[in-house]
Structure 1
Amino acid sequence: MGPRRIVCLTEEPTETLYALGEQDRIVGISGFTVRPPVARKEKPKVSAFTSAKVGEILKLQPDFVVGFSDIQADIAAELVRNGIEVWIANHRSVDGILGYIRRLGALVGVAERANAYADELQRGLDHIAEAAARLPRRPKVYFEEWDEPLITGIRWVAELVRIAGGDDVFPERSVESLAKQRILEDASEVVRRAPDIILGSWCGKKFRPGKVAARPGWDAIPAVRDGELHEIKSPMILQPGPAALTDGVGAIAAVIRDWAVRHG
């Protein structure tokens, strides 16, 4: 049977459980949830990312709470002290996302369905990788997660860029799990690495290509010179869940494919 009353402190367990047809188990969600859209309409919002309405969560009488990363450690600890079973996942890679889906499915008693869904997502990634292998050129890609300060892309993003046919220009930073470890102290380092494409996904606000292009010295970057500055909507790429492996990588692949056609 598995747990019957689940609170999701971030979006990816909500999206996963809906995809598995187990949405009736969800009794509370994150206020940042946008996928699937129906979840915002039918589920109470009881958490942000770094904070939560613990009293409201307790009123929902959950038998299982799902969260993500060390950033939610304090929320988890308070819930545990109140007798709630909590699972905090900490996956940061494409394989980690697929494994997360399988584990969450197993924890709620639908392992077979979750495995089939993860296999389907893997096939989608394989299809994108096969198409990318036929492109005439691979662009160098700079992914910007935030602008003040500049923060480069996390590991699953760099991996999805690679699957889609590009090469992340800060691979050594992508393996750092914490955003503070991916802060660029010197913006001119982007100029030196000369990306062909700049992808922006500023969490919670609209990416502004004009503002990026106007940075001192950035007019020398091929991506700026050629107008290759593109937004990838943050809900589809910055959550380590199904969205990144479907719409997120699809959007990246479309940008890279169009670039390759123009520059091949």
Structure 2
Amino acid sequence: MMKTNDPFPHRIVCLTEEPTEVLYALGEEDRIVGISGFTVRPPRARREKPKVSAFTSAKLDEILALKPDLVIGFSDIQADIARELIHAGIEVWISNHRSVEGILAYIRRLGAMVGAHEKAEQYAQRAEAHLEKVRAAAAQWPRRPKVYFEEWDEPIITGIRWVAELIGVAGGDDVFPEHSRESLAKYRILADGSEVVERAPDIILGSWCGKRFRPEKVAARPGWDVIPAVRNGDVHEIKSPIILQPGPAALFDGLDAIHAVIANWSSRRT
């Protein structure tokens, strides 16, 4: 229970999953009064909290009825929602982090905002320790595979920065590092799938937001049969809830899933 003289936000609406996951991890879930309909972590949040937003839209009347003292969202994609809430007199925090360091800073910043600085610091340090453990394990392998990560299929969109960085931690090298620095998906669109063929990835990872990744569809693309990853059957799905949101899930389960794929690939080459 929160103290009656607690000066921090008591009624928080989370427009994306990552603030919900962080606040639950810190034991501050009682402050949450509304969440995104796309929230899956932690599972109990879907049972306990009303769902009042998608990613690009929100039920403004329902949010206002909850009388929030803070609404938390992510990126320019939610700018319109934020503007409407600000016009209604609601305090809004829109984060815009796109890197592993950004996720760690986000955990610390959100913890401080709700008076849980020490718990947030401990949680961030746990994440940092996990990153270093995986990095050290990957450093033992004699070769780093080239990895192509696909965020969407039509059009083809390559992976964002935190994904590319986690591939690096897990023991691989992203084949489109120049694209990963682009925060907006429209700047990570490949005009021609032959660009992937030319970069010859050893592993293909896919996470199509909102729908199941289909390795067989990827493998059947014209000319892709010569790609080492396709030729050797190294085309794998990474579930979108654990990798496509810049929150704790990516640093723990997302990283572990990528690491497991690369470990399997490496074990067949020793």
State the TM-score, normalized to the length of structure 1.
Answer: 0.99
Distance 1:185 1:21 in 2: 45
- Deviation readout 1:203-241 (Å, 9 max, x if unpaired): 010000000000000000000000000000000000000
Match of 2:46 in 1: 40
Match of 1:259 in 2: 265
- Deviation readout 1:59-90 (Å, 9 max, x if unpaired): 00000000000000110011011111000000
Partner SS, residue 21 of structure 2: helix
Distance 1:63 1:211 in 2: 46
Of 188, 207, 210, which aligns to 1:201? 207
2:109 counterpart of 1:103:
yes
Q: CA deviation at 1:112?
A: 1.1
Q: CA deviation at 1:44?
A: 0.3
Match of 1:92 in 2: 98
- Deviation readout 1:126-150 (Å, 9 max, x if unpaired): 0000000001210000000000000
Instruction: Give the 5 Å matches for 1:1-264.
Output: 1=6, 2-264=8-270
Whichever residue aligns with residue 106 of structure 1, its letter is: A
Q: CA deviation at 1:263?
A: 1.9
**Percent of residue pairs identical:** 75
- Deviation readout 1:75-111 (Å, 9 max, x if unpaired): 0011011111000000000000000000000011111
Partner SS, residue 144 of structure 1: strand
Distance 1:22 1:108 in 2: 8
Distance 1:130 1:172 in 2: 25
Match of 2:3 in 1: none
Partner SS, residue 263 of structure 1: coil
Partner SS, residue 268 of structure 2: helix
Whichever residue aligns with residue 229 of structure 1, its letter is: V
Q: Which runs of 5+ in 2 are unaligned?
A: 1-5
Whichever residue aligns with residue 148 of structure 1, its letter is: E
Q: What number of residue pairs does the alignment pair up?
A: 264
Distance 1:196 1:161 in 2: 13
Distance 1:99 1:208 in 2: 34
Q: CA deviation at 1:257?
A: 0.6
Q: Which 4+ runs in 1 deviate beyond 2 A?
A: none
Whichever residue aligns with residue 58 of structure 1, its letter is: L
Distance 2:207 2:216 in 1: 14
Partner SS, residue 201 of structure 2: coil
CA-based RMSD of the aligned residues comes to 0.5
Partner SS, residue 147 of structure 2: strand
State the TM-score, normalized to the length of structure 2.
Answer: 0.97
Distance 2:232 2:212 in 1: 21
